[in-house]
Structure 1
Amino acid sequence: MNKNPLHQTRPWPGFPTSKSLGSFGDANCMEQLLVHCANAIESNDATLAQQILWVLNNIAPPDGDSNQRLTCGFLRALIARAGKTGSCKLLTAMANSNPNLSIHTHKFSVIELASFIDLTPWHRFGFSAANAAILEAIEGYSSVHIIDLSSTHCMQIPTLIDAIANRPEGPQFIKLTVAGATADIPPMLDLSYEELGSKLVNFARSRNVGLEFRVIPSTSSDGFLSLIEQIRVQQLVFAEDSKGEALVINCHMMLHNIPEETHSVVIPDNINPTLYAFESSSTSSLRNMFLKALRSLSPTIVVLVDEDADFTSNNLVCRLRSAFNFLWIPYDAVDTFLRRESKQRQWYEADLCWKIENVIAQEGVQRVERLETKSRWVQRMRNASLKGIPFSEDAVLEVKNMLDEHAAGWGLKKEDDDLVLTWKGHNVVFATAWVPA
C-alpha cells in the first residue's frame, strides 16, 4: 500500500498527477507544479492553487537543497501575487501568518558589501572586464569623467582608482558622477551616497589620485529620460576644463530596470527631443530612447554588463519558467562556498527571493527586474548607433585570473566581441564594450 499522501489514488480535481509530473523531489516536477499553480492563480481557481501550494510547502522547505530553496522562493512569490489580486483570501492569510514566507533583505555597510560581492564572480566578472576596457580607452587623456550607472553602489570604483594610480605615466584626474540606486532594490547600503562619495574621495587621495564626486538622485523607472538630462547637466558642470577628457559610461546591471515595452512616452518639458535624435512618433521604446540619449553624449566608451536572461514577458508563466531556469544558478553556486547557517548566505538568498518576488508578484513600474538577453541588448546598442569593440587579451587574462580565485564551476567564454561568465556551462553574465559608430 502506498502511504505517501502525495500519491493519491483519486487525485484532486484538476491537480497534476505524479504520473504526469514524475518525482516530486525533481526540479522539473517542482517547475511544473509552480506553472500549474501560476495558471490556477491567474484563472482565479483558489482551491487548486491552495492544493498545489500545500504540496509545494511540504516538498520545498526554506532550508532544503538548492532546488528546494529555489522553489520555496517561487512559492513565496506566488503567494504574494495571489494576495495582491485578492482572489484567494486563504492565500492572503497564509502569506500574513507564515514567518517563513517573509523576505528580510539586509542593509550592508560598505565593508560588508565589498566582502559580500567578493564571494562570487557574479559582479566581479563585470568589474574586471569593464575596468580593463576602461583603462585602455582612457589612455592619453589627462582626465576622465566616469558616469557610473550601477546597482552595486560604486563597489567597482576603488579597484579602478587603484589601477589608475599605478599608471606609469601618472594618474588622471577622475570626475565621478553616480546615479543613486533606488532605495528598495537589493543590494542595499546603510549610508548615504554623500557619505559614500566622501569615502571614495579619501581613498583616492590615499592613492594620490584626484577625485571629484557628484551624485544624481535615484530615479523611478519612469524617469530615465530625466536621468539623461541630469547627466548632461553634470557634464556641463564638469566641462569647464574638459579638454583632453574621456567620457566613460559604465552600465552595470542597472539598465534592465528601464521598462522595455514599446508604449506612448511623454518626453519631460526640460528635454529637447532634437538633442537626442528621438523618433517623431509618440510611441517609442523607452530603452531605445535611453540608449540613444547615452549615445548623444558622445562617450569615449560605453560598457554594458548584465545578466543573460529574459524576464520581459507579460505572460506570468513564461516569466516564471525563464526565471526558474536561470535563478537555479545562484542557488546551486552558493552551496559551493557558504555554510547553511552563514549570515552571508541568508543575505544572499534573501536578495534572490526579493528578485523572484519582483519578477513574479509585481507588475507595471513596480516590476523592475526586466532582464533581457545579450543578443537583444546588442541589437539595441547597434540601433542606437553604437559599435561593439572586442576585449583585449589583457582584459581576458584579467578576468581569467579573477576566476581562478573562485570555484571550478565558473568559466569564461568569448562570443564575437563579448565576454560571458558561465556556471557549469550555462550563461550567467555578459560584458560588452561600445564606442560611437
Structure 2
Amino acid sequence: MMQFTESAPPPPPLNLSGLGLCLDLTAPRAPLHRPRPWPGFPTSAKSLGSFNAAGCMEQLLVHCANAVEANDATLAQQLLWVLHNIAPPDGDSSQRLSAACLHALITRASRTGSCKMLTVAAARADADLSLHTHRFSAVDLASFIDLTPWHRFGYSAANAAIAEAVEGFPAVHIVDLGTTYCMQIPTLIDLLASRPEGPPILRITIPSPTATTALPPPILGLSYDELGARLLNFARSKNVAMEFQVIPSNPADAFDTLIEQLRVQQLVSEGEALIVNCQMMLHYIPDETACAISSTMSMPSSISLRTVFLKALRSLEPTLVTLVDEDADFTASDVVGRLRAAFNYLWIPYDAVDTFLPKGSEQRRWYEAGVRWKIENVIAHEGLERVERQEPKGRWAQRVRAAGFRGVGFGEEAVGEVKAMLDEHSAGWGLKREEEDLVLTWKGHNVVFATAWVPS
C-alpha cells in the first residue's frame, strides 16, 4: 500500500468537480483506524452522505483511474493521498475493497509507466499481497473451500446433475475443468458409490497448465501425481474403480491439446458417459477483447477462443456439460469500466468474510489475498496477462446455445442438495432459480451461476 509519513507535506486543496466537492487536503491527517469527515464535505441530505461511503470511494477511484490513464501525476497523487486516508486496508469491507483497488491502480501506473512519480508507491510494502502464493495442503485446501458456498454451490449443483445424467452407464469419464484441484471429486465419488446398480468405472481427466501460466489462488502444494494418488486411494476406499490422467493443456489456447486427446480416446471408449465439468475455469479462456489467438491455431483474430472451445466440445457429443462461474462482467476494454465492475461485484466477498472469519485470522488473510489478486489482475493488467475475464450468465448462455447445446436445468434433488449446503452457512447466502439455471446470491445480489447443458 502507498506509504505516507506524517511529516510529508500534503497536496494542495483539491477540487473534485465530478463529485461536487472541494476537499481541503491541507487539514491534519485523520488516524487510519478512525476516519472522519473531511472539511468542505457537504452534509445535507441531498449530498453523498458520508465521505467514507462506498459510492463516494468508488467515484474517487474512478477519478484516480482517469488521472493515471491521462498521466496526470499531480491529480493522481492528490487522489491517492485522499484514498489512503479514508480506505485503510484493515478497515470495514468497503474500505478494504477500496484499498485493494487503490493498490491495483498504483500497480497499473508502475506497469504502464504513466505517472512515473508514483512508481515508488508501487513497491509492495504490504507483504500480505504475497499471501496468494500460499500453498495449501490437500486437507487445508478442502477446509478453506468449505468456508463459503462460493465453490461449494457449484459442486453441489453439478454433482447432483452428473449423478442423474450417468444413471445406468457402466463407465463414466469426468473431464474436470476447475480451479480447485479436484476438490469436488470426492463428494462425486461418494454419490456414484451409492448407486443402486453399483458404482461405474470412473475415469478422471484434468488439464495441467504450463509453468508460464498465471495460476489464480488458491494453490495446492501437491504435485499432480500426488493429487491423483490421493484420489485413487479415496476411490478404492469406496470400492470405485478409478483411473486418473493429467493432460498438459491451457485455457490460453482453448484447451486445444485436451480436446484432441479426448477425441482420440473416444474412439476406444464406446458406452462411456463423457461429462465435462467446468467450474470457474472457462473465463480464463481468452474472449474477443483479448485478441490472443494461439499461434498454433489459424483463424481470424475476431473469433473468440471461447467459441472455438465450445464448438470443439460439442463435436465430442458429451453426455452432459456443467458450466459454473461468477456472474460478473470484467470484459470492458477500458480500465474505468473494469474498475467499476470489480467494485460493484467484489464487495461481496469482503462483506461476506466478516460473517464467518474473525479479523486477523490466517484464513481470512488468505481469503482476502485471493480477492486482491483478482482485483489487481482486472485493473492493473492488459493483454494475455489479464486472465480474469468473467462474463455474465446471459452471455455465456448465448455462447453455449450458439455452439449447439440446449439447457436441461436442475431437478428438485439438485435444488435440495444446494439448499442443504447453504443451511451450513450464514443467512446472507441464498438460492434463486432463473428459468433452468440456479444462482447463488449474497443479500439478494447474484454471485455465482450454475447451468447444465446437453447437445441439442
Aligned residue among 79, 93, 98 for 2:106: 79
Q: Which runs of 5+ in 1 are unaligned?
A: 1-6, 274-279
State whether structure 2 residue 138 is matched by structure 1 residue 138.
no
> 1:228, 1:53 → 2: CA distance?
47
State whether structure 2 residue 380 is matched by structure 1 residue 353.
no
Equivalent residue letter for 1:358: N
2:14 corresponds in structure 1 to: 11
Asked if 1 retains the 8 angstrom alpha-carbon contact of 2:193 and 2:240, the reply is: yes
Aligned residue among 260, 268, 272 for 1:245: 272
1:63 corresponds in structure 2 to: 90
Equivalent residue letter for 1:217: P
> 2:58, 2:448 → 1: CA distance?
23
CA offsets 1:15-64 (integer angstroms, 9 cap, x no match): 85245765221000110011000000001001111111111111111111
State whether structure 2 residue 63 is matched by structure 1 residue 36.
yes
CA offsets 1:187-215 (integer angstroms, 9 cap, x no match): 11111111101110011001110110001
> 1:168, 1:326 → 2: CA distance?
43
1:110 corresponds in structure 2 to: 138
CA offsets 1:275-323 (integer angstroms, 9 cap, x no match): xxxxx86641211111101111110000000000100010111111111
> 1:97, 1:213 → 2: CA distance?
40
Asked if 2 retains the 8 angstrom alpha-carbon contact of 1:103 and 1:354, the reply is: no
> 1:32, 1:101 → 2: CA distance?
26
TM-score normalised to structure 1 length: 0.91
Q: How does 1:46-61 map to 2 (within 5 A)?
A: 46-61=73-88
Asked if 1 retains the 8 angstrom alpha-carbon contact of 2:439 and 2:449, the reply is: yes
Q: Please state whether the residue corresponding to 2:240 is helix, strand or coil.
A: coil
> 1:10, 1:149 → 2: CA distance?
52
State whether structure 2 residue 50 is matched by structure 1 residue 23.
yes
> 2:375, 2:318 → 1: CA distance?
34
Q: Which runs of 5+ in 2 are unaligned?
A: 1-9, 22-40
Cα distance change, pair 21–11 in 1 and its aligned pair in 2 (3 A)? farther
Aligned residue among 431, 434, 439 for 1:420: 439
Q: Please state whether the residue corresponding to 2:273 is helix, strand or coil.
A: strand
Asked if 2 retains the 8 angstrom alpha-carbon contact of 1:103 and 1:353, the reply is: no
Q: How does 1:24-423 map to 2 (within 5 A)?
A: 24-96=51-123, 98-99=125-126, 102-105=129-132, 106-180=134-208, 182=213, 184-219=215-250, 221-222=252-253, 224-233=255-264, 235-236=265-266, 240=268, 242-261=269-288, 263=291, 265=293, 268=296, 283-423=302-442
Equivalent residue letter for 2:56: C
Equivalent residue letter for 1:338: L
> 1:305, 1:299 → 2: CA distance?
17
CA offsets 1:38-94 (integer angstroms, 9 cap, x no match): 000001001111111111111111111111111111011011001101222332101
Q: Please state whether the residue corresponding to 2:173 is helix, strand or coil.
A: strand
Asked if 2 retains the 8 angstrom alpha-carbon contact of 1:288 and 1:380, the reply is: yes
Equivalent residue letter for 1:172: P
Cα distance change, pair 341–354 in 1 and its aligned pair in 2 (3 A)? same
> 1:173, 1:84 → 2: CA distance?
50
Asked if 2 retains the 8 angstrom alpha-carbon contact of 1:62 and 1:100, the reply is: no
When structure 1 is superposed on structure 2, of 181-190 and 199-208 the one drifting more is: 181-190
After TM superposition, which residue ranges in structure 1, 4 or more long, deviate above 4 angstroms?
7-10, 12-16, 19-22, 262-267
When structure 1 is superposed on structure 2, of 188-197 and 18-27 the one drifting more is: 18-27
> 1:57, 1:10 → 2: CA distance?
16
2:4 corresponds in structure 1 to: none
> 1:381, 1:144 → 2: CA distance?
23
> 1:400, 1:226 → 2: CA distance?
37
1:3 corresponds in structure 2 to: none
> 1:304, 1:195 → 2: CA distance?
27
> 1:83, 1:157 → 2: CA distance?
41
CA shift for structure 1 position 426: 0.3
> 1:345, 1:211 → 2: CA distance?
35
CA RMSD of aligned residues (A): 2.2
Cα distance change, pair 101–121 in 1 and its aligned pair in 2 (3 A)? closer
CA shift for structure 1 position 228: 2.3
CA offsets 1:315-345 (integer angstroms, 9 cap, x no match): 1111111110000001000000000121000
Cα distance change, pair 177–97 in 1 and its aligned pair in 2 (3 A)? closer
2:3 corresponds in structure 1 to: none
